[in-house]
Amino acid sequence: EAQVTQNPRYLITVTGKKLTVTCSQNMNHEYMSWYRQDPGLGLRQIYYSMNVEVTDKGDVPEGYKVSRKEKRNFPLILESPSPNQTSLYFCASTGTSDTQYFGPGTRLTVL
């Protein structure tokens, strides 16, 4: 089954404790993205990747890092999380005709 997976689905952490949210797709897509979703603000792109070892900032990259060492994986790294990064995070990969396929989401709470 074609899918995008994310882990963990839920995470509660404390300020400053490094964390990684994993994302993997099995559709051999080159383009992948990370979004955050906040009430009233819709979807905002954090980072995207055009291919292996090619990443670029989206609209809200501050406080986040990404890496793309393999085509299928695109982890999101928060090196020193802060409470304003409490949000719902989505990974997406892009197929033909710019169609994006989303993971199930990761709900992050930073205390």
Partner 1 sequence: AQSVTQLGSHVSVSEGALVLLRCNYSSSVPPYLFWYVQYPNQGLQLLLKYTTGATLVKGINGFEAEFKKSETSFHLTKPSAHMSDAAEYFCAVSVPLDYQLIWGAGTKLIIKP
48 vs 74, beta carbon nearer partner 1: 48
Provide the mask over 19-58, with x wherever binding to partner 1 is found by CB under 8 A and - wherever it is not: ------------x--------xxxx-x--x-x--------
Check residue 12 for interaction with partner 1 (CB under 8 A): no
Closest CA to 49 of 34, 27, 35: 34
**Do residues 62 and 36 touch, judged by C-beta distance below 8 A?**
no
Is residue 82 a contact partner of residue 110, using CB atoms and an 8 Å limit? yes
SS3 88: strand
Q: What is the Cα–Cα distance from 53 to 26, expressed in whole angstroms? A: 18
Q: Which of residues 49-108 bind partner 1 (CB under 8 A)?
A: 50, 90, 92, 94, 97-105
Cβ at position 57, least distance to partner 1 in Å: 12
- Which residues contribute to the site for partner 1 (CB under 8 A)? 4, 31, 40-43, 45, 48, 50, 90, 92, 94, 97-105
